[in-house]
Structure 1
Amino acid sequence: MAYPQHLSAGEIEEFGREMDAIRNEVMDSRGDRDRQYILGVIRWQRSMALGGRIAMMLSLIVSPWGLLPVANWAAFLLLLLGGAVLLGLAKILENMEIGHNVMHAQWDWMRDPNIQSNTWEWDNVCPSDQWKHSHNVVHHTWTNVLGRDPDVGYGVLRVSDLQPWHRKYLLNPVINFILMMLFQWGVALHDLEMDKVMAGERRYDDIRPKLRRVGWKVWRQLRKDYLLWPLLASAFTLPVTLVLGLPVLSIAWAAFLTVAAGNFVANGIRNVWSNMIIFCGHFPAGVHHFLPEDVEGETRAQWYLRQLLGSCNIEGGKVFHILSGNLSHQIEHHLFPDVPSNRYPEMAPRVRALADRYGLPYNTGSFTRQFGSTTLRIWGFSLPGAAAAR
């Protein structure tokens, strides 16, 4: 492995033993406060989702095509957009602090049948079993190893000088924006490795079973957000339109489209935020990438070292960390992916102190700094000759 030259093999192994000690101490101390934390987050998430959907329903009463003779545009927009934002935040919580971490088996120790990694299906068009393979197994094993970690550019972006430049990378800024807006759809395709299918390295028949499962999950999500909830909104208007003699079909259709639009905005909020947090944890300046030969014969201690060098943190307050799924502590997450996420803030100072003692970089910065650095790097790597630290 290409590790920092100032460390001997013995020092790296001692570094690994100290990392193990931090992990074991936290894992041994799991208990009721952790249980209450995740149960509380789930209650908040479900309350926010329900509140957001109720607010969008109530917006129909004061909408220009709604149930009152005089429309109130301000109240309508406040309820509709406020509901969409609240639902978007609920989707962020479900995907990042709950779903992602549950699927990492962080909460399996509770033996709660409703919060188990092998049964949780998250609010996302990507099936959870495919996410666990592409993310937990592949990405966390081969973090930032070119050719083995599909998260290095996701098959469409150039994010490292170890990736040979091709003309297609001139579209880096455009593709980066598309990935941000359609993030959950990119996640759904991730485990299919469509780039290899298009390059002829895999056959379409090889991915057909996975593609069918993606189709099942896409239908489940679209049905919920763009059919069932909008239909419920239409039904909500029905009694009043019948009593007052209002045009039933036109108001029902307007209600359907209004709630569907609100759900679309909520999904967009989740997509943009998830993309920004995840990219800021993997692509800012100073992040290291590796070649397959660098990790041949890699020990656990060297794996710890690679996770430290290949991950980046984002500084912020408690609410920010929760809304990021504690992936603002990306370094700690990559070092200890099965440790409950609420423990990362208390582990971070210890990990940083250990890195400092061994003369190793600990890549952290404000959200503005990490996002700006990530964006500039992605734009810069669209051009030939761009270089950065491995």
Structure 2
Amino acid sequence: MAITDIRAFAHLTEADIEALGRELDQIRADIERSLGQRDADYIRRVIRVHRGLEATARLLLCASRYRAPRMAGILMLAAAKIIEMMELGHNISHGQWDWMNDPEIHSTNWEWDFIGPSAHWKRSHNYVHHTYTNVYGLDEDLSFVVLRMTRDEPWRPVHLIQPVVSLVVAAGFEWAIAVHDWALERRHTGVHRGQRRSQPNIEFARKIASQVGKDFLLFPALSRRGFRRTLAANASALLLRNLWSYVVIMCGHFPDGAEKFTIEQLEGETRGEWYLRQLLGTANFTARPVLAFLSGNLCYQIEHHLFPDLPSNRYPEIAERVRALCDKYDLPYTTGSLTGQFWLAYRTVWKLALPDLLLHRTSDDAAETRSERKFSGISLASSGSSWQAIDPITGTRRGLRTALAADSSRRLADHGRGRWFQRRWIASITGQR
């Protein structure tokens, strides 16, 4: 099962974790003190870029009858919607720019260009997901729709189709998130599914009418004879936005190394342990500035989960300091290429479509689901036994990275011994030496 004791898993003492928490608090304080005009200029510049892209794209799609301008319009509209969702809607709704006290760019006022109401999303994402990141039984992203992303989720026959379901979710990612958030909003407010005129239902219906009316009726109608072409173009732009956002989210939460936790881990959880859970439960992918911008800087998912309300344009500099802390405390900093991280996440989708009895490893030492019990052959830092927190030769701290390397070496040695015994057994029955 998932991690129940984060100290044992991380091979850090309570004092280490609290020291890590204080250093992360210091990073927050430093960034907050340095916020100023350049940050305000950044977000206002992003808004201008987004609006310029969308206006140009709408003009091309409504006015042009030729294929090349229309293709350019589709790509520009997709880019505009990606920017609005990832760098604007997502980050503004987190309160990253509330310090500016600008009513237009405030988390309480911004309504994003998305099928689900911002208020629903903020409750399910900002509160539930970011508070209980990867805690099985509380963070429902671990079993999104019917996707099984950890072995803690009991296998059901419906999971056999999750490789296909995941493609449907990717294509309709906007709708999948909106319905997910709507369900959580009803549950939180105690509204029964049959109460059709409840507040969550009314809010959701109004937002659907607004979005569908804008993208599938108003703008296609403005193109007059090109209604169908503009309708198809708008749908294509939305599809591209959905696929891209699905890829980004998968890369940040489900590749190997993004750990899962049990509810027991929350009992008495300190600020330092919360930080550590965010660091271990998320993953980054490498990206140059343009790719980072189009991901809403969620290529820095680790930094985002550590500091969800700090401006996203500061994540690159925060990442340098977080990496240094990971080196100091011997913790892994999970990252990789975009394609590599997505492949690991999607491999988990395929792998966990199968029942556990058909899978190798166990729920304690699998690549996508592991716990402190995977180190049963290694003395843990919290056990007070032979594990030495400080390397006696180099004098450096020994934590999770060292423990993972030791476990890997042990497995390789066991594999080598297994191959040796296998060869001896084959030789004995064939009469060979």
Give the drift of 1:261: 1.0
2: CA distance between counterparts of 1:33 and 1:314? 26
Out of 193, 196, 217, the residue aligned to residue 204 of structure 1 is 193
What residue number does 2:34 align with?
Answer: 29
State the 1:10 CA deviation: 0.9
Q: 1:389 aligns with which of 346, 369, 388?
A: 369
Equivalents in 2 of 1:205, 1:296: separation in Å?
A: 35
**Alpha-carbon distance in structure 2 between the residues aligned to 1:40 and 1:344:** 18
Secondary structure of residue in 1 paired with 2:256: coil
Q: Who is 1:162 aligned against?
A: 152
- Match of residue 220, structure 1, among 189, 197, 210: 210
- The yes-or-no answer on 1:172 pairing with 2:162 is yes
Residue 140 (structure 1) aligns with: 130
SS at match of 1:349: helix
Q: Which residue of 1 aligns with 2:387?
A: none
Partner of 1:72: none
TM-score (normalizing by structure 1): 0.87
2:257–2:334 contact (8 Å) kept in structure 1: yes
Aligned to 2:294: 323
Structure 2 Cα separation of the partners of residues 373 and 16 of structure 1:
29
Residue 312 (structure 2) aligns with: 341
Q: Is the 8 A contact 1:56 1:83 kept in 2?
A: yes
CA–CA distance in 2 between the matches of 1:293 and 1:155?
24
Q: SS at the partner of 1:265?
A: helix
Distance across 2 between alignment mates of 1:341 and 1:229 = 32
Report the 3-state secondary structure (helix = DSSP H, G, I; strand = E; otherwise coil) of the residue aligned with 1:157: coil
CA contact (8 A) 2:145 2:176 kept: no
Corresponding position of 1:130: 120
- Taking the aligned partners of 1:280 and 1:59, their CA distance within structure 2 comes to 37
Q: Does the CA contact (< 8 Å) of 1:170 and 1:383 recur in 2?
A: yes
Equivalent in the alignment of 1:99: 89
Distance 1:30 1:349 in 2: 18
Q: Which residue of 2 aligns with 1:355?
A: 326
Out of 80, 83, 100, which is 2:73 matched to?
83
**Separation (CA, whole Å) in 2 of partners of 1:210 and 1:306:** 32
Provide the identity percentage. Answer: 45
Task: Decide whether the 8 Å contact of 2:149 with 2:348 is kept in 1.
Answer: yes
Contact 1:144 1:290 in 2 (8 A): yes
Once residues 5 and 79 of structure 2 are traced to their aligned partners in structure 1, the CA distance between those partners, rounded to angstroms, is: 41
For residue 152 of structure 1, report the CA deviation from its aligned partner.
1.1
Q: Which runs of 5+ in 2 are unaligned?
A: 360-365, 371-433
Query: What amino acid is the match of 1:55?
Result: L
Structure 1 residue 2 corresponds to structure 2 residue 34: no
Contact 1:56 1:80 in 2 (8 A): yes
> Residue type of the partner of 2:17?
I
Q: Tell me the CA shift for residue 155 of structure 1.
A: 4.0
Whole-Å Cα distance in 2 between the matches of residues 202 and 164 of structure 1? 28
Give deviations 1:297-346, integer Å, cap 9, x for gaps.
11111000000011000101001001000011000000000000000011
Distance in 1 of aligned mates of 2:139 and 2:241: 24
Q: Normalising by the residue count of structure 2, what TM-score does the alignment of the two structures yield?
A: 0.79
Gaps of 5+ in 1: 61-75, 235-251
SS at match of 2:6: coil
On the 8 A contact 1:58/1:79 being kept in 2, the answer is no
Matching residue of 1:287: 258
Cα-to-partner distance string for 1:221-267 (whole Å, 9 max, x where unaligned): 01101111111111xxxxxxxxxxxxxxxxx2xx1111111111111
Q: Judge conservation of contact 2:63–2:223 (CA < 8 Å) in 1.
A: no
Verify the 8 A CA contact 1:226 1:260 in the aligned structure 2. Answer: yes
Listed as ranges, the matches of 1:10-89 within 5 Å are: 10-60=15-65, 76-89=66-79
Q: Note the alpha carbon deviations across 1:20-56, whole angstroms, 9 max, x for none.
A: 0011100110001100100001100110001111111
* Distance in 1 between residues matched to 2:178 and 2:294, nearest whole Å: 21
**Shift, 1:360, TM fit:** 1.1
Question: Is the aligned partner of 1:150 residue 2:140?
Answer: yes
> Which residue is equivalent to 1:110?
100
Give the Cα separation in 1 of the matches to 2:170 and 2:181.
18
Deviation at 1:146, TM superposition (A): 0.6
RMSD after superposition: 1.8
Distance 2:282 2:195 in 1: 32
Give, in whole Å, the separation in 2 of the partners of 1:361 and 1:284. Answer: 14
Residue from 248, 252, 272 that aligns with 1:301 = 272
- Contact 2:147 2:162 survives alignment (8 Å): yes
1:184 lines up with 2:174 in the alignment: yes
Distance in 2 separating the partners of 1:24 and 1:179: 39
The Cα of 1:4 is off from its aligned counterpart by 4.2
CA–CA distance in structure 2, aligned partners of residues 7 and 150 of structure 1: 28
Q: Distance in 2 between matches of 1:49 and 1:99?
A: 15
* Structure 1 match to 2:348: 377
Q: Any conservation in 1 of the 2:286–2:336 contact (CA below 8 Å)?
A: yes
